[in-house]
Amino acid sequence: MTNRITIADIARAAGVSPSTVSRALNHNPGIPENTRLMIERIARDLNYRLDVRARNFRLQRSQTVATLFPYQHASHRQIADPFYMEILAAITDELDQHGYDSLIARVHVENDDWCNRYVLDKRVDGILLIDRALDDIGIRRLHALGAKVVVWSAALDEPGYVSVGCDGTAGAADAVRHLLAVGRRRIGFIGGFEHMVETHFRQGGYRLALTEAGLPVDEQLIAFTDFTPEAGGQAAQRLLEQAPALDGLLVCSDYMAAGVMDVLRQGGRRVPDDVSVVGYDDVPLAAHYAPRLTTIHQPIHQGGRLMVQKLLALIDGEPVTSTVLPHQLIVRDSSVLANPSV
């Protein structure tokens, strides 16, 4: 068996000390560039591979990040949800660029057992949470444990965690203003579970835009459910039964909106002629629905990569702040008549 090349072997070939080789390979700024380049060339020529296990043991790191998807009650929202898949793709691509692995799981927001599992057992170096609850015991426990955490979420005025995400209130308000602009007046809202942060802020934007327009907020036009097409469709059916004159809908995800539009068609309601529909997220499939879905675009890939960058900075002990990403209303066929009369 071929002996493994060590730092001492590189040091002998380069005529420098092993400590100089170690610092050069770790890009220590105290090593002159010509020396670093020479050492890197010799390391390549000798087919040197860093002993990752030894380095991680020395640094007390696992070189693994947990990407966790919190859920509430008996949620059936799976990781196969298109939004989840989009952000997960960005996260794993960025982690790969930095030599990190990703552990992926769903965790329940109504207990904090999972916090001990990931943090106290040192299974991961940091945690990425995709959404959170308003009163989230897991967030509090992670903070108490000193965990490195970045959350995909609208920003909350709450110490102890870093967030990346769009302003859900502003995005939902823009969606409702659009529905008002195309002549809709009986506008419904279908959200995910009420106490999840993303749903909370989007409901706030819905209420804000109606109030701005001088319209009452009718509680019969508001439904909360799971982030699945089936649940979205069932919620739409309930709203139609309670308010048959409904003529517009803001749906809290593009995935849910697919089920909503199916139910509208099955009930003889034309989209957008009878009911205009706006989704949220702008996942790639939204542009291929029939009709093509008007939606609020979130820069999902940018956000996923930024979450990783911020988490790795936290792991390295650097100061990190939250970021609010821009959103954009994308107008397609599901909300605007081809020949509008308004």
pLDDT at 55: 54
DSSP assignment, residue 118? I
Give residue limits of the domains in the chain. 7-48, 64-166+300-326, 168-297
Q: How many CB atoms lie within 10 A of CB 11?
A: 18
pLDDT higher for 22 or 294? 294
Residue pointed to by tokens 């903070």: 143
342 has a pLDDT exceeding 50: no
Length of the chain in terms of residues written: 342
| 89-136 tens-digit pLDDT | 999 999 998 889 999 999 998 889 999 889 887 889 999 999 999 988
The model's confidence at residue 57, banded by pLDDT at 50, 70 and 90, is very low
Write down the architecture of domain 168-297 according to CATH.
3-Layer(aba) Sandwich (3.40)
Sign of CA dihedral 107, 89, 119, 325: negative
Lowest mean pLDDT, pick from 5-14, 34-43, 151-160, 209-218: 151-160
User: If DSSP codes are grouped into helix, strand and coil, which group holds residue 109?
Assistant: coil
Lowest mean pLDDT, pick from 70-84, 176-190, 301-315: 70-84
pLDDT at 279: 98
| 133-174 tens-digit pLDDT | 998 899 999 999 999 999 999 887 777 789 999 999 999 999
CA neighbor of 81 nearest in space, from 226, 297, 277, 194: 226
175 has a pLDDT exceeding 90: yes
User: If DSSP codes are grouped into helix, strand and coil, which group holds residue 84?
Assistant: helix
User: If DSSP codes are grouped into helix, strand and coil, which group holds residue 162?
Assistant: strand
pLDDT at 341: 46
pLDDT at 1: 39
Sign of CA dihedral 316, 321, 77, 328: negative
CA distance 3 to 199: 57
Q: Are strands 64-71 and 328-330 parallel, antiparallel or unpaired?
A: unpaired
pLDDT at 60: 55
| 241-297 tens-digit pLDDT | 999 999 999 999 999 999 999 999 999 999 999 999 999 999 999 999 999 999 999
Name the amino acid, one letter, at 210. Answer: L
CA distance 311 to 314: 5
Domain 64-166+300-326 -> CATH class? alpha beta
Contact 150, 322 (CB under 8 A): no
Within this chain, domains 64-166+300-326 and 168-297 share the same CATH topology = yes
CA distance 206 to 11: 65
Distant-in-sequence, close-in-space partners of 130: CB < 8 Å, separation ≥ 6? 67, 68, 69, 70, 84, 87, 151, 152
User: If DSSP codes are grouped into helix, strand and coil, which group holds residue 279?
Assistant: strand
Rounded to whole angstroms, what are the CA distances from 218 to 185, 188, 246, 271?
A: 11, 8, 11, 22
Q: Angle CA(15)–CA(18)–CA(23) in degrees, nearest 5?
A: 110
Lowest mean pLDDT, pick from 34-38, 153-157, 237-241: 153-157
| Mean predicted lDDT score pLDDT of the chain | 91
